[in-house]
Amino acid sequence: MGRFHRHDESEHGHGHGPDAPVGDHSGYATGTDRIEILERIFDENDHTADANRRDFDQADVLAVNLMSSPGAGKTALLRETLLRLRDRLRVGIIEGDIETSIDADRLTGLGAEIALLNTANGFGGECHLDAPMVRSALSRLPLSNLDLVIVENVGNLVCPAEFHVGEHNRAMVYAITEGEEKPLKYPVMFRSVDLVLVNKVDLLPHLEFSIEDFYRNLRNVNPRVEVIETSARNGAGLDLWCSWLTARHAELAAARARPASAARISPSVSPHG
Amino acid sequence: MHELSICRAITKLVECHADGSTVRIVRLRVGELRQIVPDTLAYCWGLVTEGSDLESAALEIERVPAAIRCAGCRHVHTLTEPILVCPECQGRDVEIVSGEEFLITSLDLMEV
Ligand SMILES: Nc1nc2c(ncn2[C@@H]2O[C@H](COP(=O)(O)OP(=O)(O)OP(=O)(O)O)[C@@H](O)[C@H]2O)c(=O)[nH]1
Ligand SMILES: [Mg+2]
Ligand SMILES: [Zn+2]
């Protein structure tokens, strides 16, 4: 169940739009058979996401899916995050990159386990990570020795929002250089996340950017989202972000310590219910 | 272009349900809150099915408008822009009642 309640036809069997054809009244070519299916197209991805989620849960690992447009500052923030968390949490990073290992290289030597996922396959590479890709990276991470796995998704505001990878929480990096109207242009992404890191705030004095307009647009698509203003350049907000991660991890551990309710805590953010 | 990987997922589901029969039409229901572009989907469908058993199968896409229901005043509102606020009472506690669908609804198969 996502942040918003969903009504999915595969469970309810209704939900035709007003213009939807009802029944077959098309004088249809004979010689064909219609078979009804009603199957969710993301089912296969979601099943693998569930398997990933079980692996995270079994290893007491908090998984966070970090998304953004290209260049918003995910890798820069992760560098700073690793420097601050290294004595508190054991971190693994799944680094989604279309072609190169540049971002993975930027994160090495900071005490984290890194698994690189190149998504190029034929047509110029996938623009997102899906659950099977993350699953293949998981086999290269020593999950039982980790507390936190952050998935740096491919920089893209459209596609990653559609693919649940097994994460407990979704966060996105939004850079103030991107313009105030982004939430309205990419509502699926902005309303699928639990937290927005509003990054590059060190540039505020130099930009004609109205942070109030941005927040209004953000609340319009996602009224309950949490926000932290950050700068990977001057370190603003990074302690808050690290505390947010530490708190989510502690919540997870606390929920697991309670017998019956083990594992399923804090909003699961599956975009597909 | 996640439409490409989506088309691969659709071909898998279709092949599984068609069970060897020739498929004429694949019907999808796509909510307007999904960031899926029907034209791109149709284009990718052509790429993915070219030269395969599904080459002759056409995609038919039914769009479903996005609607919200307000928890405060129960008003149901069809969205024309992605603003999740009740237009009657300005309430923000709203539930999405349609627009997130992404399903295969039916197939037309050649009779044998
Ligand atoms: N001024 C300023 N620049 C930043 C900040 N965060 C990142 N940058 C710069 O923005 C550029 C892109 O940052 P990255 O960390 O590579 O962004 P990314 O989101 O990982 O990019 P992709 O992985 O390619 O999608 C780099 O030149 C960073 O130095 C910030 O807080 N302030
Ligand atoms: Mg990066
Ligand atoms: Zn209302």
Surface of B (15-34) touching A: CB under 8 A = 17, 21, 24-25, 28-29, 33-34
CA–CA dist A55, A214 (Å, integer)? 37
CB contact under 8 A, A17 and B102: no
CA distances from A33 to A57, B12, B61 (A): 45, 20, 18
Q: Which two tokens stand for residue A81?
A: 């995050």
Residue A160 above 70 pLDDT? yes
Q: What's the gap in Å between B64 CA and the centre of ligand 2? A: 35
Query: Residue B15: inside a domain, yes or no?
Result: yes
Is the CB of B51 inside 8 Å of chain A's CB atoms? no
Domain that holds residue B45: 3-65+98-109
- Give A-chain residues touching B99 at CB under 8 angstroms: none
Among A92-106, A175-189, A194-208, A252-266, whose mean pLDDT is lowest?
A252-266
User: What CATH number has the domain bearing residue A42?
Assistant: 3.40.50.300
Q: Which two tokens stand for residue A73?
A: 């500052």
Q: Which two tokens stand for residue A96?
A: 């989604």
CA–CA dist A152, A172 (Å, integer)? 10
Tens digits of residue pLDDT in A191-221: 999 999 999 999 999 999 999 999 999 999 9
User: Apex CA A105: angle with CA A102 and CA A107, to 5°?
Assistant: 115
Residue A187 above 70 pLDDT? yes
CA–CA dist A77, A90 (Å, integer)? 17
CB contact under 8 A, B35 and A222: no
Residue A261 above 90 pLDDT? no
pLDDT at A22: 44
CB contact under 8 A, A37 and B109: no
Residue A157 above 60 pLDDT? yes
CB contact under 8 A, A20 and B64: yes
CA distances from A117 to A100, A130, A154, A173, A243 (A): 9, 11, 10, 20, 27
Q: Which atom of ligand 1 is nearest to the CA of A68?
A: 19
C-beta of A200 in contact with ligand 1 (< 6 A): yes
- The H helix count followed by the E strand count for chain A is 9, 8
Q: What's the gap in Å between A238 CA and the centre of ligand 1? A: 14
Q: Are strands A62-68 and B58-64 parallel, antiparallel or unpaired?
A: unpaired
Tens digits of residue pLDDT in A107-153: 999 999 999 988 776 444 678 899 999 999 999 999 999 999 999 99
CB contact under 8 A, A186 and B35: yes
Give percent above pLDDT 70 in chain A.
81
Query: Residue A95: inside a domain, yes or no?
Result: yes
Tens digits of residue pLDDT in B14-42: 999 998 999 999 999 999 988 888 898 99
Q: Which two tokens stand for residue A55?
A: 């692996």
Q: What's the gap in Å between A78 CA and the centre of ligand 2? A: 9
The ipTM value here is 0.80
User: What CATH number has the domain bearing residue B31?
Assistant: 3.30.2320.50
User: Apex CA A107: angle with CA A104 and CA A113, to 5°?
Assistant: 85
pLDDT at A7: 36
The H-or-E segment that residue B79 falls in is none
Number of domains in chain A: 1
- Give B-chain residues touching A220 at CB under 8 angstroms: 82-85
Percentages helix, strand, coil for chain A (3-state, rounded to 5) are 35, 20, 45
pLDDT at A27: 47
Higher pLDDT, residue A204 or A261: A204
Higher pLDDT, residue A195 or A32: A195
C-beta of A75 in contact with ligand 1 (< 6 A): yes
pLDDT at A124: 47
Q: Which residues of chain B have pLDDT under 70?
A: 1, 112
Taking CA atoms, what residue in B is nearest to A272? B100
**pLDDT band at A72, cuts 50/70/90?**
very high
Three-state DSSP state, A164: coil
Phi, then psi, of A119 in degrees rounded to 5: -100, 0
Residue A100 above 90 pLDDT? no
C-beta of A156 in contact with ligand 1 (< 6 A): no
Query: Residue A192: inside a domain, yes or no?
Result: yes
Quote the mean pLDDT of chain A: 85
Give percent above pLDDT 70 in chain B.
98
Residue A227 above 80 pLDDT? yes
What is the arithmetic mean of pLDDT over A261-270?
A: 48
Q: Are the beta carbons of B104 and B26 closer than 8 angstroms?
A: yes
Query: Residue B75: inside a domain, yes or no?
Result: no
CA distances from A162 to A175, A180, B35, B95 (A): 21, 23, 8, 19
pLDDT at A2: 32
Query: Residue B37: inside a domain, yes or no?
Result: yes
Half-sphere exposure of A182 (CA within 13 A, CB side): 24
Domain that holds residue A41: 28-264
Torsion of CA B6, B61, B40, B83, to 10 degrees: -90
Three-state DSSP state, A46: helix
State the angle between helix axes of A74-85 and A238-257 in degrees (0 to 180), rounded to the nearest 10.
Answer: 70
Record the pTM.
0.84
- Give B-chain residues touching A7 at CB under 8 angstroms: 96-98
Number of domains in chain B: 1
**pLDDT band at A39, cuts 50/70/90?**
confident
pLDDT at A10: 40
Tens digits of residue pLDDT in A4-17: 333 333 433 343 44
How many contacts, defined by CB atoms under 8 Å, are there between A and B? 134
Q: Are the beta carbons of B92 and A223 closer than 8 angstroms?
A: yes
Residue A272 above 70 pLDDT? no
Residues flanking ion ligand 3, Cβ below 5 Å: B 70, 72-73, 75, 86, 88-89, 91
Q: Are the beta carbons of B65 and B30 closer than 8 angstroms?
A: no
Query: Residue B87: inside a domain, yes or no?
Result: no
C-beta of A103 in contact with ligand 1 (< 6 A): yes
Least CB–CB distance from B29: residue in A9, A44, A127: A9
What is the arithmetic mean of pLDDT over A60-72?
A: 97
Which mutation among A103, A117, A129 tests ligand 1's pocket best, with the greatest number of atoms within 8 A of CB?
A103
